[in-house]
C-alpha cells in the first residue's frame, strides 16, 4: 500500500483539487478505452466536491459516459429522502452532467435490507472486474470519517468489521438503530485507490491517532482501511490536521 496525505487551507480548496484529480483519473481511463468504476460517499465534505463537478470546466470536459457510479454506503431510505446519499449526489451533480442513466448504480434504500444487500452485491459483481481475487475491484472509492472513526457505515465494535467473504453488509447505526447497506472491508481494501475526505476540528483527535498509529490496536474502522495493492489518500483540511502545520 502507498499512502499520500494532502492538506488544504479550507474545504473549497480541497474540493477544487479533488475535482482536478477526478478529471485526470477519468480522462486516463477514457484514453485507454476503459470505464472507470467509482464508489461515492455521503456527508458534507463531498457535497462541495460534487458542486464543483457540476460546473465548468468539469461539467463539459469530463467524459461522463466512461464513468460508472456506485455508493460505498446508503441509509435504508427512499431516494427522495433528505438522508439519502444518492439524493445528495444526484441533486448536486448527477442530474446536471451528461452521464448515462445505466451508469448510475444506486443502492435501493427503500428495498428490505435483507434483499438489497444481496441485490447490490450482484450488481457490483456484474459490472466490476475481479482480476485480483474473488472480490470486485473498484478503481476509486471515496470515504468520509466520523468523529468516532467510523467510515462508510462501518461503526466501531460492529460485527460488520469482521466480515471476510461478503461484498456488502447490513449495518446499523449504534445510536439510532437505523439500518444501512455498506461495502465490506475486504471490498474497500481491494480497490486500486481509496480516498478519505476529512474536514473539521472535531475529526482532529481521531485523525491524528490514525495517521500516527495506523491499524495497530486502534478501535476505529477508518484505521482498518489499507488497500492491499492500492493507493490510500487523505484529503484533509487544516482544521482536521492542525499538527501538520506545526
User: Is the preceding omega at residue 57 within 30 degrees of 0, hence cis?
Assistant: yes
Q: How far apart are CA 78 and CA 87, in angstroms?
A: 9
User: DSSP code of 5?
Assistant: E
Instruction: Report the CATH architecture of 2-245.
Output: 3-Layer(aba) Sandwich (3.40)
Written as nine digits, the cell of 202 is 472535531
Average pLDDT over residues 43-52: 92
Assess contact for 143 and 41: CB atoms under 8 A.
yes
What is the model's pLDDT at position 246? Answer: 47
Q: How far apart are CA 97 and CA 104, in angstroms?
A: 12
What values do phi and psi take at 61, rounded to 5? Answer: -100, -20
- What pLDDT digit, counting tens, does each position of 119-151 carry? 999 999 999 976 666 899 999 999 999 999 999
What is the model's pLDDT at position 89? Answer: 98
Q: How far apart are CA 202 and CA 195, in angstroms?
A: 19
Amino acid at each position: 500500500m502507498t499512502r499520500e496525505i494532502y492538506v488544504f487551507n479550507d474545504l473549497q480548496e480541497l474540493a477544487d483539487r479533488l475535482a482536478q484529480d477526478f478529471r485526470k483519473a477519468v480522462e486516463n481511463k477514457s484514453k485507454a478505452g476503459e470505464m472507470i468504476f467509482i464508489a461515492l460517499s455521503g456527508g458534507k465534505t463531498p457535497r462541495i466536491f460534487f458542486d464543483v463537478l457540476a460546473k465548468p470546466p468539469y461539467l463539459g470536459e469530463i467524459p461522463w459516459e466512461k464513468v460508472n457510479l456506485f455508493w460505498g454506503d446508503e441509509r435504508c431510505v427512499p431516494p427522495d429522502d433528505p438522508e439519502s446519499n444518492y439524493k445528495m449526489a444526484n441533486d448536486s451533480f448527477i442530474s446536471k452532467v451528461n452521464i448515462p442513466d445505466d451508469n448510475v448504480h444506486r443502492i435501493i434504500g427503500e428495498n428490505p435490507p435483507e434483499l438489497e444487500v444481496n441485490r447490490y452485491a450482484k450488481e457490483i459483481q456484474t459490472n466490476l472486474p475481479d482480476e485480483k481475487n474473488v472480490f470486485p475491484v473498484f478503481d476509486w472509492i471515496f470515504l468520509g470519517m466520523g468523529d468516532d472513526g467510523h467510515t462508510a457505515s462501518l461503526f466501531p465494535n460492529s460485527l460488520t468489521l469482521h466480515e471476510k467473504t461478503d461484498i456488502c453488509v447490513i449495518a446499523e447505526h449504534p445510536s439510532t438503530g437505523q439500518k444501512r447497506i455498506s461495502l465490506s472491508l475486504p471490498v474497500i481494501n481491494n480497490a486500486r485507490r481509496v480516498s478519505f475526505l476529512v474536514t473539521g476540528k472535531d475529526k482532529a483527535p481521531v485523525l491524528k491517532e490514525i495517521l500516527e498509529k495506523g491499524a495497530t490496536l486502534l478501535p476505529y474502522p477508518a484505521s482498518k482501511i489499507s488497500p492491499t495493492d492500492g493507493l490510500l489518500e487523505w484529503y484533509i483540511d487544516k482544521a482536521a490536521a492542525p499538527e501538520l502545520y506545526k
